[in-house]
Amino acid sequence: MEPIEKFLEVWRHRHDYARDWKARTGGKVVGYFCTYVPEEILYTADILPVRILGGHEPPNLASPHVFDMWCPFCRDCLSQGLAEKYDYLDGIMIAQSCLHVRQAFGAWEIHIPTPWKYYLCMPNAVRSPRAKPFLAGELASFKEAVEEWTGKPITDEALDKGIEIMNTNRRLMKQVYEFRKEDIPPVIGTEAMMMVWASQLMDKREHNELLKQFVEELPNRKLERDPGIRLMIVGSENDDRPFMEMVESIGGIFVIEDHCTGSRYFWDEVVPGEDRISAIANRYCDRIPCPSKDWGATDWQRKRFPHILNLAREYRAEGVILTQQKFCDPHECDIPSLRRYLEDNGLPCYFLEFEVTVPVGQFRIRVEAFLEQIRAEELFV
Amino acid sequence: MAETKYHTKGLECWDKAKELRTKYYKDYAKAHDRGALRWEGGAWSFDALPQALEGEVHPLTEEPYGASVGADPETQVRYQEAAEGKWGCARDLCAYLRSYWGSIILDEYFFGGKWPKADFIFQNHICCSHGKWLQVVAELEGGQIPYFCFDVGAGPYDKIGERQINYVVEQLYDGIEFLEKTTGRKIVDEKLIQNVYNTYRSACYWSKVCELNQAIPAPLDEKSMYSLYVLGTLQKSSQEIADFYVELYEEVKERVANQIAAVGNERCRVLGDSQPPWGFLRILRYMEEYGIVSIGSLYTFSLIGWWQIDDDGNLVPYPTLEDQGITIKDREHALRLLAEGELRGKLMWAPFYGAKFKNELVKKIARQWKCDAAMIHLNRGCEGTAMHQMELKIALAETGLPVMTYEGNMADEREFDEARDMRLIDLFLTETMGLKKLAD
């Protein structure tokens, strides 16, 4: 099976994959909300971290627990849990992030039987000099909790192994992304994101093997398509494959993105250090932040904006689609400023609000108009 | 009017509360005329620090400002439409935040005149919007305004140890460095120490006042309590405000001793949740026609009030420094006490860490304050206080308490359907609670 086919299969049949993994390895599976969860420590203990994602189905089961002003993603995730789709989980955890996802975790803790639960108090002020030592303390407590749960001590060697698994995964995905800079990228945006989605769902050691194969194949991979208009997509959680495919079927190609289901997830590595826990803490404080944590302790400027602009330039994006999950406050706070920032730097933007299911027909018309706008600008340059 | 079951009268310190509030907004606007500094921050900011700078300093806290605008629906819509239309923000963002941004965009101060720009921002962050709120304000005000933001999301009250307190104390030191560098003024330790004493008195005496509302009849109704706790959201470290809470406590104690009721015909005690729709507080007065007194909520009790759980599992006011026999020795001691009080005592922060915390705390309130029902305002205007509201509904209903929810927005009248919600309230009171309106 080709790596891309395998990524698609894991994404489609994520629960079967996790059940099968448990049967094969006898290991524990922990579901996690938010990409601030330090997967390094879970891998250290031979635990499979699986990101809780929605099912893109109406989140009816969540309605008695979370009312409708909360983001569709958190309601969808909770609904999937209440529907017992994640009944194989041995544990569930969250790293402190936005209120929406915390809302889903809060209800999950009460209503969905899961043997082990953990709330990791990830600092909000990640750019404060006080955040890294505080997080290191939180991670040390987390490590102890995992040791107690599994009954196995976590050694420095094991931490090195966990860090290496994660860093290899990040490095290989970045290598794949390098190919997206080409004039005719051999990998389209939907495929690239599917690769990232799969990495959040499957054992990274297996994912790494697929990535190595993929990196080897890419120089010879030719796509039978006009590359189209090079786009960047930016926003909150996005695993909406029908939307991505639709845009890439009407003359656009996503060459880069900034999503927690995309580059933001893996862009930064752990820089190894003598104190492994501090090294991991540094990585999670220094990573490209989620907007919910993107404010300085002593200045208001956002770290994410110049990073997004740099990505857009490096990957030669001609336009940016800004998306957000409806009701996502952190992104809603950033989007008016981000739009101005990108447009002032010559990048046309188009904004779309996502729900659990997106109206692909309507969005198609709107994106077509945006692509025409970009083409028209090219004509008159 | 027929004779009521209990004697009732207004609060003697009511006018003083109003005067303090009016003075606060006027002082902020006129601060520069007097060579004083102005700063913006949240109701939960550590105001004890900037207020300890040399010379005169005045704060503007953003949430009470948004609530004031919310009580005037016409202005609120105008401000919010400016934020949505001119700036381009989403309509479902925090309602206070949109009013605040709109006010700046229109260059209008709700209390009269042009928008008074601050000299610096001194914010704290626990909900998703706070750090971001004033980040955009800094942009709207030209991008040059110095900005400082604390993180107080260090864990729930029952997990607060030295490490969590140190995290905040270290940030407080950073905050002092920022203030001195930004303003060119020094922090005066005597003022800082006094501000911490005052903060404790404001937070602890407000809790003592709320505790008195366990009495039957309740000496205070929630609508009045809103006008009282607000002072602590403006400037809890102020001497005048701390003194006010001590005075209020003495008066409410007298009311309890003399069975002076907030609602003369009290016969049903309800519990609320989250901010009310500020432009429509008349719904609370309307409920009094049924003999209902709204005794408070986790929000009203602990937005500024500090609490702790005693050995019997009861909510009790957090002890003042005097109760604890503590004399503040120096700056380090003051900062540590400040962080400790906020992290351990402000139970309003507990829901940020899980529904189980909110459920347990509110169930205690329902029991200790002898509530007959709960009426939960599903507040679309504030994600922070609306955390886990549906879970709370389930948890309270499981204890046998009748619960109703009504959807609205604390400060966006476009999201509050008054006629529909009044109908829901009528149905709940008559059909579920079996109450009838009392005869005039």
pLDDT tens sequence across B99-124: 999 999 999 999 999 999 999 999 99
CB A356 within 8 A of CB A59: yes
Q: Is it the case that residue B223 has pLDDT exceeding 80?
A: yes
Beta-carbon contacts of B259 under 8 Å, excluding residues fewer than 6 positions away, are B6, B7, B217
CB B122 within 8 A of CB B148: yes
For an interface test with A, the pick among B84, B87, B151, B376 (most A C-beta atoms closer than 10 Å) comes out as B151
Q: How far is B95 from chain A (nearest CA, A)?
A: 12
Q: Provide mean pLDDT across the span A226-233.
A: 95
Of A294, A183, A281, nearest in space to A234 by CA: A294
Of the pLDDT bands very low, low, confident and very high (cuts 50, 70, 90), residue A376 is confident
Q: Which residues of A53-88 are buried (b: 16+ CB within 10 A; e: fewer)?
A: bbebeebebbeebbbebbbbbbbbbbbbbbbebbeb
For an interface test with A, the pick among B84, B127, B132, B353 (most A C-beta atoms closer than 10 Å) comes out as B132
**Within an 8 Å CB–CB cutoff, is residue B91 touching chain A?**
no
What is the reported pLDDT for B200?
A: 98
For an interface test with B, the pick among A61, A329, A335, A351 (most B C-beta atoms closer than 10 Å) comes out as A329
Q: What's the pLDDT tens digit per position in A134-167?
A: 999 999 999 999 999 999 999 999 999 999 999 9
CB B291 within 8 A of CB B270: no
Q: Do A123 and B352 touch (CB under 8 A)?
A: no
Residues of B in contact with A337 (CB under 8 A): 136, 139
Q: Do A128 and B174 touch (CB under 8 A)?
A: yes
CB A64 within 8 A of CB B394: yes
Q: Do A336 and B87 touch (CB under 8 A)?
A: yes
Torsion region of A152: left, alpha or beta (phi above 0 gives left; psi -120 to 50 gives alpha): beta
Q: Which residues of B413-436 are buried (b: 16+ CB within 10 A; e: fewer)?
A: bebbeeeebbebbeebbeeebebe
Q: Is it the case that residue A177 has pLDDT exceeding 90?
A: yes
Q: Write the DSSP symbol of residue B87.
A: I
Q: Is it the case that residue B1 has pLDDT exceeding 80?
A: no
Q: What's the pLDDT tens digit per position in B253-299?
A: 999 999 999 999 999 999 999 999 999 999 999 999 999 999 999 99
pTM for the full predicted model: 0.96
What is the reported pLDDT for B128?
A: 87
Q: Provide mean pLDDT across the span B388-415.
A: 97
How many whole angstroms separate alpha carbon B269 and alpha carbon B292? 6
What is the reported pLDDT for A1?
A: 85
How many whole angstroms separate alpha carbon A329 and alpha carbon B387? 14
Average pLDDT, chain B: 97
Residues of B in contact with A96 (CB under 8 A): 153
CB B212 within 8 A of CB B219: yes
Q: Do B139 and A330 touch (CB under 8 A)?
A: no
What is the reported pLDDT for A381?
A: 59
